[in-house]
Structure 1
Amino acid sequence: MQRTFLQPDDVRDLVTDQFGGGRRPIALDRLTGGSKKGVYRLRLDDHSTAILYVWSAGENYWPPSLTVPDDPFTDASGAELFAVSHAALVAAGVGTPQVLALVRGSRYFDADVALVEDAGVDTLEAVMERDPGAAVGPLSALGDGLRRLHTTVGAEYGKLAAVARGEASQRRRVEDVIVDRALGQLRGAAAHDGRIAEAHDRIAGHVRHLRGAVAERRAYGLIHGELGPDHVLVSPAGEPLIIDIEGLAYFDVEWEHAWLQLRFGDAYPMLRPVDLDPHRLRLYRYAQVLSLIEGPLRIADTDFPERQWMLDLAERNIAKALAAV
């Protein structure tokens, strides 16, 4: 599809309505990294800035895929999920940029939009790479926040909005949701890569073997869903602020920690995690490896601008998936 992105004139009425007639937009910079929503830095003529989120089809690069009906991480995007997730983070005492305005069904450009605090350009990932010593404080504070989040317990699993509406699924165990999700992603990956296709049955057998070691448990913590150091901004005061929050859900905290271990690497112990079930961790780690093959290969077939990065990510995880079998 031919994509057109927002320009300063497109947000003039939004700026007038939200900030008053005395301020006008002078620049609108589309930030890299967004694949489901548009993320822009809005610059105003008084030198102030804000971040603009836009949820529209034209900003979403992901093509459709087969999904598991009760997978809480499917289609984790949209203004409703953002609003509910933001409120939950604030209630749990977890840092996240302040919401300045949330406009549903916007008349400005036929999309839901949010204006949020501009917390700067420094991600925790960048700080960790540039100055590991400076990352110690934010990592420790992030660990404190995650423990508060992960010990916010629910009796049902699912997206926060679905839980609030009484629509959360309790039909089966979460590890079975993840197994179905992983096997579906395995089929999708096999359609793109001959090595995965050749190893399909061995990989599927390994997934089922890992599932067989997991004992039943029905208590769920609040998790981000795919939290990496690139999803944490570090404010000028050194406070970690979590972003890309639409995927917040009640689920096994091991799903979060499998992802944290992958993304934070050697720095992961600095988060001082809660007690975890090692069998769930092993299953979820491997399921995420399969997800990091299928998803990148699928989006690499679109006009996503960072195609080679996605292909490289898939290649690293293909090696991991095959090494296990």
Structure 2
Amino acid sequence: MRQFTETAVLSGIVREALGAGADVVGVDRLRGGSKKGVYRVHVRGSRAASVIVYSWAEGENFWPAAEGADAVHPFAPASGLVPFLAAQRTLERIGVRVPGLVLADDSRRRHPADVAVVEDIAGPTLEAFLRTDPVRASDALGELAAMLDVMYQQRSRHYGRVDVLERGDKASGDSCEQVVFERALEDLAEAAERDPRIGSAAAPLRDRLQELAARVAPRTEYRLIHGELGPDHVLLDAHGHPVLIDIEGLMFFDAEWEHVFLQLRFGERYPALSRPGLDPARLDLFMLAMRLSLVAGPLRILDGDFPHRSLMQGIADHNAREALALLAR
């Protein structure tokens, strides 16, 4: 049976972070995390009424183990304290708002996994705000666009996750477009085995990927991107300002990869985040690759005991239809 982080362990971690006078009075395990546990811990005797605890314990990760995974691949699972802290440092250095770090602990003294305690942001997700208060959400979208501009101004001659580059390693592959193309072929093969609709169109989808990849011209400079920036990965603070979360995948890569995900997740609100200068050929390749990833990935996690099964199945079904629709364009 899957084991989540126990309240007694969380209490010890929070007292270490906030001081012995902090008294834990409640714990909520927050929905949404698939690679780490996210807990809101309510306290008395501290200036903070609550904090968030991240736990990267094995029992918190719902994704099947990837045997022989390439740890420096840009799309390798980004999980743990090392990528989190590298992303935290990078974003704080350039002035992009993330929850403040209270404690980072990889000692395994209290808990057999990496943990971090961070500021609890008071507001809702931007996703919820777009539904409940679309007028004020427009201001937050404008601020988010400005944050993305700051991130995209950060440039590198090398692509890869920031923790990989920080330690002097080189990411796998020869170019972003090659990495995306090869991963798309893998996702296509996996999706074809799991979804009959994709299976029946595997050959034309493969041909289409090859055609789109051939149109992409070389590039030698990369921008800083979040990597999975949906409106559920943006919190709003007490003043309505955006705060980025789930930052472990932060990397230097083609900005177009970020923008196809923004298009999918923000829908009709995407124009507020769009920027000039994006390469249409990359956008076309990356969009089909992203659709196939969002078929293979959700179906893969359903091999395990991920609890929100209808959600993942719905994501896979929707993106299978959209991937097939791209063949007609």
| TM-score, normalised with respect to structure 2 | 0.95
Q: How does 1:311-322 map to 2 (within 5 A)?
A: 311-322=313-324
What corresponds to 2:188 in structure 1? 186
What corresponds to 1:23 in structure 2? 22
For 1:100 and 1:194, locate their aligned partners in 2 and report how far apart those are by CA, in whole Å: 48
Cα deviation for residue 105 of structure 1 reads 3.2
What corresponds to 2:63 in structure 1? 62
Q: How does 1:226-241 map to 2 (within 5 A)?
A: 226-241=228-243
For 1:144 and 1:69, locate their aligned partners in 2 and report how far apart those are by CA, in whole Å: 31
One-letter amino acid matched to 2:145: G
- 1:243 matched to 2:227? The reply is no
Verify the 8 A CA contact 2:295 2:316 in the aligned structure 1. Answer: yes
Q: Residues 94 and 64 of structure 1: is their aligned pair in 2 closer, same or farther, counting only changes over 3 Å?
A: same
What corresponds to 2:79 in structure 1? 77
- 1:37 matched to 2:36? The reply is yes
Long gaps (5+) in structure 2: none
Verify the 8 A CA contact 1:68 1:180 in the aligned structure 2. Answer: no
What corresponds to 1:213 in structure 2? 215
Cα shift readout 1:70-116 (whole Å, capped 9, x = no counterpart): 63121111100000001111112111111111111331111110000
Cα shift readout 1:142-178 (whole Å, capped 9, x = no counterpart): 1001011012000100111111122123751210110
Verify the 8 A CA contact 1:37 1:59 in the aligned structure 2. Answer: yes
Verify the 8 A CA contact 1:6 1:28 in the aligned structure 2. Answer: no
For 1:92 and 1:145, locate their aligned partners in 2 and report how far apart those are by CA, in whole Å: 10
Residue of structure 2 aligned with 1:159, choices 146, 158, 161: 161
For 1:272 and 1:148, locate their aligned partners in 2 and report how far apart those are by CA, in whole Å: 14
Cα deviation for residue 271 of structure 1 reads 2.1
What corresponds to 2:257 in structure 1? 255
One-letter amino acid matched to 1:33: G
Q: How does 1:265-304 map to 2 (within 5 A)?
A: 265-304=267-306
For 1:288 and 1:255, locate their aligned partners in 2 and report how far apart those are by CA, in whole Å: 8
SS of structure 1 residue aligned to 2:96: coil
Verify the 8 A CA contact 1:159 1:168 in the aligned structure 2. Answer: no
Verify the 8 A CA contact 2:74 2:172 in the aligned structure 1. Answer: no
Cα deviation for residue 210 of structure 1 reads 0.7
Cα shift readout 1:196-238 (whole Å, capped 9, x = no counterpart): 1121111111111111111111100000001000000011101
For 1:259 and 1:76, locate their aligned partners in 2 and report how far apart those are by CA, in whole Å: 17
What corresponds to 1:53 in structure 2? 54
For 1:93 and 1:269, locate their aligned partners in 2 and report how far apart those are by CA, in whole Å: 24
One-letter amino acid matched to 1:230: D
Verify the 8 A CA contact 1:73 1:225 in the aligned structure 2. Answer: no
Verify the 8 A CA contact 1:56 1:111 in the aligned structure 2. Answer: yes
One-letter amino acid matched to 1:255: W
| TM-score, normalised with respect to structure 1 | 0.96
Cα deviation for residue 120 of structure 1 reads 2.5
For 2:70 and 2:191, locate their aligned partners in 1 and report how far apart those are by CA, in whole Å: 16
Residue of structure 1 aligned with 2:101, choices 95, 99, 102: 99
Q: Residues 142 and 129 of structure 1: is their aligned pair in 2 closer, same or farther, counting only changes over 3 Å?
A: same
For 1:199 and 1:176, locate their aligned partners in 2 and report how far apart those are by CA, in whole Å: 22
For 2:164 and 2:22, locate their aligned partners in 1 and report how far apart those are by CA, in whole Å: 38
What corresponds to 2:2 in structure 1? 3
One-letter amino acid matched to 1:94: V
What corresponds to 2:266 in structure 1? 264
Long gaps (5+) in structure 1: none
Give the total of aligned pairs.
324
